Amino acid sequence: MRAGWYDRPGPASEVITVGQMSSPAPNPGEVLVRVHASGINPSDYKRRGNTKAALEFPRIIPHSDGSGVVAALGAGVQGLREGDRVWVYNAQWRRPFGTAAEFVSLPARQVKLLPGNVNFVEGACLGIPAMTGFRAVQLCGPMRGRTVYIPGATGRVGAYALQFAKLAGARVIVSTGSGSSSAEELKALGADTVLDRNNPDLETALMSAAGRSGVDAIIDVNLAQNIDMDERVIAENGVIVSFGAASRPSLRISLSGRRARNISFHFVFVYLLTPEQAVSVCESITDAVSSSEIRHRIARTFPLDELARAHDFAEHSSAKGHVVIEI
Ligand SMILES: NC(=O)c1ccc[n+]([C@@H]2O[C@H](COP(=O)([O-])OP(=O)(O)OC[C@H]3O[C@@H](n4cnc5c(N)ncnc54)[C@H](OP(=O)(O)O)[C@@H]3O)[C@@H](O)[C@H]2O)c1
């Protein structure tokens, strides 16, 4: 099969090769998927670029997310058939061979039916970004009639969180640091209020949008940077959910104020959802994308032969949205 891989960490243009490898065969309990689209996430290029850590495996085919068609079933797999359109997740989590290849063989629980109204490129975004966004909203608790603040809503995860929070009945306030075109896009995605993250008085603007008691929930892409304001704008009994890789490795929280107001914190690491949590998140996402107008924001697609360029683009360009390899 044709695949992209690296055998050492480093810059994409120096370490990524695209060539021929032998195709995997499905072990018992696995599903062989003919991959049509493979999504790139920050974790993919951060792992590939991290020269401080040894590679987990001698050779890595990157990317955890993807979509395609079931090509063969390992012994004992039920509920899927050859030819089914599917999306997959965690393909390169604690496993060497991800989705940047014509074929990937995965445990059946990581292979989900792709709704007919979602194309393969869009299906390759449902793993890390949509699952993280959905899980973050789930952790906020019942959303109907509540107000949630999502900084970073122009991001891959944030845009899904915004749309899932709206679907759950929340009033959604977002902020963006990237100007009026992003603000327009966020309104089109359903945001009730869009604030300017560069406004020196963001806090006043947020409190005025939220109402006197503050916001009921915050889904934060960069908690270490935003914690001070988050603690001031969160309402009593509020929930703060952090999913972004921290700009600083630790943060200070005001224990007395937090305890007195009954505030809770949750941290999401999507790769480590329990099997039950993953089933609930995946089923809810499949329902949401098949029955609602969820938008998948594709920044750019690349052919597999341009995998190194695609990694560079995902890592360094300021384009918003998903970068997807078509295979
Ligand atoms: N925990 C997990 O399981 C998990 C899963 C997926 C991703 N992540 C991590 O989450 C982060 C975001 O991923 P992504 O794919 O959504 O990235 P992304 O598409 O690059 O989006 C991040 C967005 O956050 C905004 N932003 C940047 N700094 C901010 C700040 N200090 N406060 C508020 N907003 C800020 C930017 O938008 P504006 O300029 O428009 O404001 C940016 O577009 C990455 O660090 C990624 O590694 C974690």
Claim to verify: residue 154 and residue 116 sit in the same structural domain: no
* Domain residue limits at 303: 2-125+296-326
What is the pLDDT, as a whole number, of residue 177? 94
Q: Does residue 286 lie within any of the structural domains?
A: no
Residue 309: strand, helix, or coil = helix
State which of 157, 176, 187, 248 you would mutate to test the pocket of ligand 1, scoring each by most atoms of that ligand within 8 A of its C-beta.
157
CATH classification at residue 165: 3.90.180.10
Mean pLDDT of 32-39: 98
38/89 same-domain check: yes
Whether 162 and 95 map to the same domain: the answer is: no
pLDDT in tens, 207-246: 999 987 899 999 999 999 999 999 999 999 999 999 997 6
Q: Report the 10 Å Cβ neighbour count for 244.
A: 21
Distance 30 CA to ligand 1 centre (A): 32
Ligand 1 lined by 156 (C-beta under 6 Å): yes
- Asked if residue 276 is part of any domain, the answer here is no
284 within a domain of the structure (yes/no)? no
Atom of ligand 1 nearest to the CA of 135: 3
Assigned domain for 278 exists: no
**Spatial distance between the Cα atoms of 118 and 8, rounded to a whole number of angstroms:** 35
- Could you tell me if residue 277 is inside a domain? no
**CB of residue 196 inside a 6 A radius of ligand 1:** no
Would you say residue 280 lies in a domain?
no
Report the pLDDT value the prediction gives residue 246, as an integer from 0 to 100: 67
Mean per-residue pLDDT, 19-47: 97
Residue 258: band (very low, low, confident or very high) from pLDDT cuts 50, 70, 90: low
Q: Are residues 99 and 188 in the same domain?
A: no
The reply to whether 304 and 230 lie within a common domain is no
Mean pLDDT of 8-24: 97
**Integer angstrom CA distances of residue 57 from 1, 25, 154:** 20, 19, 34
pLDDT per residue over 291-313, tens digit each? 888 999 999 999 999 999 999 99
Q: Stretch 88-108: mean pLDDT, rounded?
A: 98
| Tens-place pLDDT, residues 105-122 | 999 999 999 999 999 999
As a whole number, mean pLDDT of residues 282-290 equals: 95
Residue 314 belongs to some domain of the structure: yes
Domain final residue, candidates 271, 287, 307: 271
Nearest-CA residue for atom 12 of ligand 1: 244
Check if 133 has its Cβ closer than 6 Å to any atom of ligand 1: no
**Closest Cα to atom 48, ligand 1: which residue?**
244
Q: Which residue in this structure is represented by tokens 């972004």?
A: 244
pLDDT band (50, 70, 90) for residue 253: confident
Identify the residue with better confidence: 151 or 254: 151
| Type of residue at 263 | I
Could you tell me the two tokens for 81? 């058939």
DSSP 26: P
Statement to judge: residues 176 and 209 lie in one domain = yes
Q: Is the pLDDT of residue 260 over 80?
A: no
Cα gap 98→96, rounded to integer Å: 7
- The tokens for 99 are 């989705």
Q: Is 181 left (phi over 0), alpha (psi -120 to 50) or beta?
A: alpha
Question: For residue range 144-158, what is the model confidence (pLDDT) as tens digits?
Answer: 999 999 999 999 999
Token pair recorded at residue 239: 């929930």
Q: Which residue carries 């996402």 as its tokens?
A: 285
Beta-carbon contacts of residue 187 (< 8 Å; ≥ 6 apart): 194
Tell me: do 19 and 40 sit in the same domain: yes
The pLDDT of residue 257 is above 70: no
Per the structure, how many domains does the chain have?
2
SS (H, E, C) 83-145: CCEEEECCCCCCCCECCCECEEEEEHHHEEECCCCCCHHHHCCHHHHHHHHHHHHHHCCCCCC
- Residue 171 C-alpha from the chain's centroid: 22
DSSP 1: -
- pLDDT at residue 127 tops 80: yes
Does the residue 192 lie in any domain? yes
Gap from CA of 158 to ligand 1 centroid (Å)? 7
Position 31 pLDDT exceeds 90: yes
Tokens of 43: 């974790």
- Last residue within a domain, chosen from 256, 271, 286: 271
Q: In whole angstroms, what is the distance from residue 169 CA to residue 192 CA? A: 12
- Are 219 and 134 contained in the same domain? yes
Q: How far apart are CA 246 and CA 148, in angstroms?
A: 21
Q: What is the mean pLDDT of the chain?
A: 95
Same-domain pairing of 15 and 139: no
The verdict on 191 and 223 lying in the same domain is: yes
**Residues 66-76: b if buried by 16+ CB within 10 A, e if exposed:** bbbebbbbbee
Q: Are residues 223 and 237 in the same domain?
A: yes
Is the separation of the CB atoms in 84 and 77 below 8 Å? no
- % of residues, the chain, pLDDT over 70: 98
Q: Which residues, at least 6 apart from 158, have a Cβ–Cβ distance to it below 8 Å?
A: 133, 150, 151, 152, 174, 219, 221
Same-domain status, 217 and 109: no
